[in-house]
Amino acid sequence: MPRRYCAKLSIYRSRRIRKHNIHQRHNPQYAGMTLKIALAQTNFLVGNISANVDRIVKAAIHARDELGADMIVFPELTITGYPAEDLLLRGDFIVSANNALYQLADRVDGIALVVGFPEHATEQGCDKLYNSAAVLHQGAILACYRKQALPNYGVFDEQRYFDAGNQPCVFEFNGSFIGLTICEDVWQDGIIAASKQAGADLLLTLNASPFNMGKSQQRESIICRQVKTAQIPLVYVNQFGGQDELIFDGASFVVDAQGDIVFRAAEFREQISVVEFDGHQPIKGVCTPLYTDITGAYQALVLGIKDYVCKNGFQGAILGLSGGIDSALVLALAVDALGADRVEAVLMPSRYTQAMSIDDAVLEAEALGVSHYTIPIEPAVEAFTGMLAEVFADPVKGEGRDAAGAIASENIQARCRGVILMAISNKHGKLLLTTGNKSEMSVGYATLYGDMAGGFAPIKDVPKLLVYQLSRYRNSLSPVIPERVLIRPPSAELAPDQIDEDSLPPYDVLDPILERYVELDQSAEHIIDAGFRQEDVARAVSLVDRNEYKRRQSPPGIRITGKAFGRDRRYPITSGYKGI
């Protein structure tokens, strides 16, 4: 079916329904009709169109044969996966996606499919691309809707790729008039109401709404308020899975016309569920409880590691295990994501590594059943120091830890570890996980080509205080991190008796400052006025501003807060701006 006709079909149906819908709503023939809608909370691979179509077909057959569904609704841009980013600028990719839609229409019968795809259209001699949803049934496209509200903030760049639609879409199916919306549409005032005005008895919304802590509650609060205002039930189907730094948590739900949630799917789990409608009203089903912020963040990190490793074809994961809190948490996350048999830990002590750090690292690896081995770095450090002796012979002025020579010596140790870990990663085909947290990434308390070397940074968006909370939560499931690790002062152990607070404010001071400056975009003056010491604010803000060049070279990491480094926060490296 040509795309132009598909668009006209949607508008035609909306106009016809506006004329006749009042009669149908009061017709006893339709009032008692039931409709079973399946919510396909599924995990797709961006760019793998053929595999995604196969998964759609498999899910639809399961919903039809095992669950008795009349219709199955998939997430946003199902066929390509979300977000496809600049793949959407490739003409061959768009052609493949549109061809796949037509082929899909012929592959499943006996159930209607609602799928998202990037719709190519030529209008008045101009090529257009829409974020669209198509309804497929019995080999035909019943309706096609074009997303109207294109988000262009935070992690979203939809205005870079798509043109905005401007019409509601309502179609008739089994005696019900059903409206279509896509993700951001239901966050904006007016679009739900317009669908109802166009004749919809209920709404389906296809979503790819990424996770951050508190997002599930925020999502439900906004949608329930919108639905209650419009007085129309809504089926909200959200994507599940990890895609680079983004995590999609699922938690699909159904809201009745009064704005109450009558069904909720599980978070962080692939699930196909069925909700039955009786006379356009959803019948109450199971409402799976939402996770707390801490438990949800932990699940998101596990899912992010699992999907990044598996979707990219790695054999497993490897990391450096120091005996500190950060690497202990990453090890536990990796094992929970992949299984102990696919994770390796490497201990790389130096002359400054304390015996208890080695002991604790071994206890962590043994508690989790992980293969581990020890490679002392002193021979490599001595070799590099000897090679650099002549260059380093010229004394560098400065005192204490901040002297350039001392920092260079510390960085050699970190870089020796990075070389060792990357060598093992290459040899074993396992992804190297870095162990730096958000507090460290914010202030540059990390070594380029050293502890920042690796392929994926699981806790890159986890502030240090949250690291401790997540670690204690993991220990509540089974004790895998020694208590001593949780209570001893954190240290990089690159110099004698070194602790983090030699260089940084205490984390219970630093983290709230960083949250205000990085995530909330508050000025230094505002932060000081909130009660923080000027010297602490000045130090933290200066470090954040100076270290953008480091963050730009760090591996991708899992986003769990409202603003992560990367897609969320894009600051210039070369800049005259000073936050203080």
- State the virtual CA torsion across 497, 502, 507, 513 in degrees, nearest 10: -170
Buried residues in 45-75 as b, exposed as e (16+ CB within 10 A): bbbebeebbebbeebbebbbeeeebbbbbbb
Decide: 343 and 331 in contact? Cβ < 8 Å.
yes
Decide: 459 and 559 in contact? Cβ < 8 Å.
no
- Letter for the amino acid at 73? V
Decide: 466 and 322 in contact? Cβ < 8 Å.
no
Decide: 550 and 478 in contact? Cβ < 8 Å.
no
Distance (Å, rounded) from C-alpha 169 to C-alpha 391?
A: 71
For 460, counting Cβ atoms within 10 Å of its Cβ (0-12 exposed, 13-18 middle, 19+ buried), the class is buried
- Return the structure tokens found at 386: 């000897």
Query: Annotated catalytic sites, by residue?
Result: 76, 147, 183
Give residues with Cβ within 8 angstroms of 91, minimum separation 6.
none
Count CA within 13 A, CB hemisphere, residue 79: 25
Q: Please report the DSSP string for 519-539 in residue order.
A: IS---HHHHHHTT--HHHHHH
Q: Please report the DSSP string for 264-308 in residue order.
A: EPPBTS-EEEEEEEETTEEPP--BPPPPPHHHHHHHHHHHHHHHH
Give residues with Cβ within 8 angstroms of 523, minimum separation 6.
579
Beta-bridge partner residues of 129: 120
Residue 359: helix, strand or coil by DSSP?
A: helix
Using CA atoms, how far residue 381 sits from 218, 491, 497, in Å, is 50, 19, 19
- Letter for the amino acid at 293? D
Distance (Å, rounded) from C-alpha 567 to C-alpha 580?
A: 24
The alpha helices in 388-489, defined as continuous H runs, are: 389-392, 404-428, 438-443, 464-477, 483-487
| Greatest Cα-to-Cα distance within the chain, rounded to the nearest angstrom | 94
